Chain A
Amino acid sequence: MTVTAIASKEVHVDDEGFLTEYDEWDEKLAVELARNIGIDEMTDAHRATINFLRSDYAEQGTTATLRRVSTVGQIPTKQLFALFPKKPAKKMAYVAGLPKPVGCV
């Protein structure tokens, strides 16, 4: 278990840097997490995506895949690639303070 400081807040992360404690996340931290990976401005669309991921994780116990975010979360796939370029599934999970999704599709 590793502790790292993000926005002068101490959080627990795994080897890659994904948060491991659901409750250590807050919206202010999300802004910093996003900035860490090149997303300089968190828009309402970013926040809506992150909020879906977090509430879905709370219910399901696993991080939603891209397909689940588009079918259950009703956020179009194209938009996810625009908001979190190149690797949306992993980037969304990181900003939401969740583990990487494990599903293939």
Chain B
Amino acid sequence: MTTVEAATPIVPDFGDDAADRKIAFICSKGNLDMAYPALIMASGALGEGVETHIFFTFWGMDMINKDTVDNLQFTMLGNTAMHMPGSEKHLPQGLGGLPGMTGFATRMLKKQIADLDVPEVPEFLTMLHDMGAHLWACQMSVDMMGLDKDDLIDEVEDIINVSEFIEVSDGAQIIFV
């Protein structure tokens, strides 16, 4: 093995002097499998020192509603790409209509996620909050669903309308899920 002698010490550039980057996720779905993408990317962004906002709207409200957050479900219905984990064998999505299939698929997905040591959604939201994420609830969805701030998990910073979200996300890269 050849060894190169560095003249000056090599120190990683952690980008501390770089211009502040900002990212905003919009969570609009309440299915278990649609909850994770934004949460995982948000945790990655926060770990990179990026200012991170998450705006929950429509069915995404289920991710921050105390009554639903512990019970998000994964269904095979509507998923034309459905197959068993670790197998390429296609599963007709119609199977998802059989009694008990949504519960079965949900348990299976939760186990796979837990095997990767990735937290469940409520714990994940607490972790993101501790990492400095700003969680926002959509005013119109709150009105439509007859909710108020007490119905939402404590990590939610505030209920804001769309123009306020547009303001807080000024300069951010926006990702809609």
Closest residue to B131 on the A side, CB-wise?
A: A77
Query: Which of chain A's residues have a CB closer than 8 A to the CB of B131?
Result: 66, 77-78, 81
A88-B6 contact in complex given A67-B127, A77-B130, A81-B131, C-beta closer than 8 Å: no
A91 touches B14 (CB 8 A): yes
A104, B45: Cα distance in complex, Å: 10
B40 touches A105 (CB 8 A): yes
Query: Which of chain A's residues have a CB closer than 8 A to the CB of B118?
Result: 67, 104-105
B119 at the interface (CB under 8 A from A): yes
0/1 string, A50-75, CB within 8 A of B gives 1: 00000000000000001110110000
Query: Which of chain B's residues have a CB closer than 8 A to the CB of A88?
Result: 47
A37 touches B119 (CB 8 A): no
B132 touches A67 (CB 8 A): no
* A-B pair number, CB within 8 angstroms: 86
CB < 8 Å: which of B3, B8, B47 contacts A66?
B47
Query: Which of chain B's residues have a CB closer than 8 A to the CB of A68?
Result: 117
Main secondary structure on chain B at its contact with chain A? loop
A2-B3 contact in complex given A78-B130, A87-B48, C-beta closer than 8 Å: yes
Query: Which of chain A's residues have a CB closer than 8 A to the CB of B5?
Result: 2-3
Give the shortest distance, in Å, between B22 (CB) and chain A (any CB): 13
B6 touches A89 (CB 8 A): no
A89 touches B47 (CB 8 A): yes
Query: Which of chain B's residues have a CB closer than 8 A to the CB of A28?
Result: none
A1, B10: Cα distance in complex, Å: 12
Give the shortest distance, in Å, between B143 (CB) and chain A (any CB): 33
CB < 8 Å: which of B6, B10, B116 contacts A16?
B10
CB < 8 Å: which of B6, B11, B13 contacts A3?
B6
A77, B46: Cα distance in complex, Å: 11
Closest residue to A68 on the B side, CB-wise?
A: B117
B27-79 interface (Cβ within 8 A of A): 40, 43-44, 47-49
A86 touches B10 (CB 8 A): no
* 5 A-B residue pairs with CB within 8 Å: A12-B3, A37-B12, A37-B16, A90-B14, A91-B14
Which residues of A are interface residues toward B (Cβ below 8 A)?
1-6, 12-13, 15-18, 36-38, 66-68, 70-71, 76-78, 81, 85-91, 94, 103-105
Contacts A37-B16, A67-B127 known; list 15 others, CB within 8 Å. Answer: A1-B2, A1-B3, A2-B10, A13-B10, A18-B12, A36-B11, A67-B119, A78-B130, A85-B16, A86-B16, A87-B48, A89-B47, A104-B40, A104-B118, A105-B44
